[in-house]
Every structure is written in C-alpha cells, then in structure tokens.
Amino acid sequence: MSLPLQSIDVLRQEHDAILSVLDQLEQAVALAQDGVLVPADIFTDIQEFMSVFVTQCHNHKENEAVFGRLDDDLAGQVLANRLKQEHQEALAVDRDFAAAVAAYVPGDIASARRLAGATERYADDLRQHITTETDELFPLMARDLSGSDRDMIAEFDRVETDEIGEGVHERLHAMIDGLPERIAACRRPAGSGVAAATGKQSSAALLHER
Ligand SMILES: [Fe+2]
Ligand SMILES: [Fe+2]
C-alpha cells in the first residue's frame, strides 16, 4: 500500500483553495450579470490570486518539483507532458480573463457578460485539469515518489519564497477567507451600511487583510 505523501496533501489543499475561489468568482459574476454593482476590486483580487497563486506558485511547484520526477516510466512521462502542456495553454486563458477583469465596470452589463464568458472558459479548463491531477497524478506520485517527498516539500517552499516572495501566499489565503463576506455584502440592499457598491467599497477590509 502507498504511504501518504505530504507533497500530495499540499497540492490537494491548494486545489481546494482554487476550487473555492472559482465558486466565489462564479457567484460574483452571476450577480454582476444580474445588474448588481459588484465592486471591481473583488475581481481584481481574484485575478491576482489566479495569476500569483495558481500560475506563478502552484503550477511552478508541479512543473519544477513533481513532473521531472515522473520520467521513470512511459505513463509518467506522458502524463507529465500533458499536464505541463495544459499549464502552458492556461497562460492564454489567464490573459483573456485578466483582460475581461480590467474591462469590467460595475453596472455595465456588457462588460459583465464578457467577464462571464472568460470566467466560464477559465473555470472549465482549471476544474478539468484539477480532476486529471487528482485522478491520475496523485496516484502516480503515491506509487513512485514516496522517496522524494521531503525533497518535493523543500522545493515547494523554495518556489513560495523565491518566486512569489515571503508572506504573499499567506496574504492571498487571507483574501480567500474574506471573499464570501465581500460577495454577500453585494447582495444586501443599498444603504444597509455594509455595501456601498461604488466599485471601491471593501478596500478597508482589504487593507486590513493586507
Ligand atoms: Fe497543474
Ligand atoms: Fe495542480
């Protein structure tokens, strides 16, 4: 029987964080499409999370610490190449999403619809990629890489400090924790004292988190 790997736990927890942000993003986009004045900073914060946490950090951990260790058999090589290719293809989808976020204006339904289209493509691709890693990559890691677990964890730590910087990972986790309340505040009637929905609302909460 395979031993539990700490490296798999780390990647799985990051997948859970990503999936939770995708759920929040879809809720916020649906509200914006319904004409709710969802503040733009909710989407720019999520876009930063996608760019820094997913692309620069999580994908680099897999590229640099995991995929190169799966070369011992053909199945491992094929899977690693496929996942690496998907990381590469995700860059263009990420750019489209970032452009749609930058163009979003609260109350402008056309910009909300563009954002909804970019979100759908981004979320579909990412969920599918995570499912492949859960179903195919993790069992292969558990079978073949238990002897490299400590080395992989050390490389994960190096990616976090060298490539995104000290404390950024923690700041983004704090941002995730605050998202449900910020999105719930958009649903409250104007004048309730919580959601001013001006597009700049909630920056105080953000500053507090940062
Ligand atoms: Fe991946
Ligand atoms: Fe992943």
User: From the CA of 83, which ligand is nearest?
Assistant: 1
The rounded Å distance from CA 154 to ligand 2 centre is 17
Q: Which ligand gives the minimal distance to the CA of 18?
A: 2
The domain locations on the chain are 6-209
Please give the CATH number for the structural domain made up of 6-209: 1.20.120.520
Digitized pLDDT (tens) for each residue of the chain, 210 residues in all: 456 899 999 999 999 999 999 999 999 999 999 999 999 999 999 999 999 999 999 999 999 999 999 988 898 999 999 999 999 999 999 999 999 999 999 999 999 999 999 999 999 999 999 999 999 999 999 999 999 999 999 999 999 888 888 888 889 989 999 999 999 999 876 655 444 444 433 333 333 333
pTM for the predicted model, two decimal places = 0.87
What ligand has the least distance to the C-alpha of 67? 1
Distance between Cα 36 and ligand 2 center (Å): 33
Q: Tell me which long-range contacts 138-141 makes (C-beta under 8 A, separation of at least 24).
A: 138/8, 138/11, 138/12, 139/2, 140/70, 140/75, 140/76, 140/79, 141/5, 141/7, 141/8, 141/66, 141/70
CA of 21 to the centre of ligand 1 (A): 16
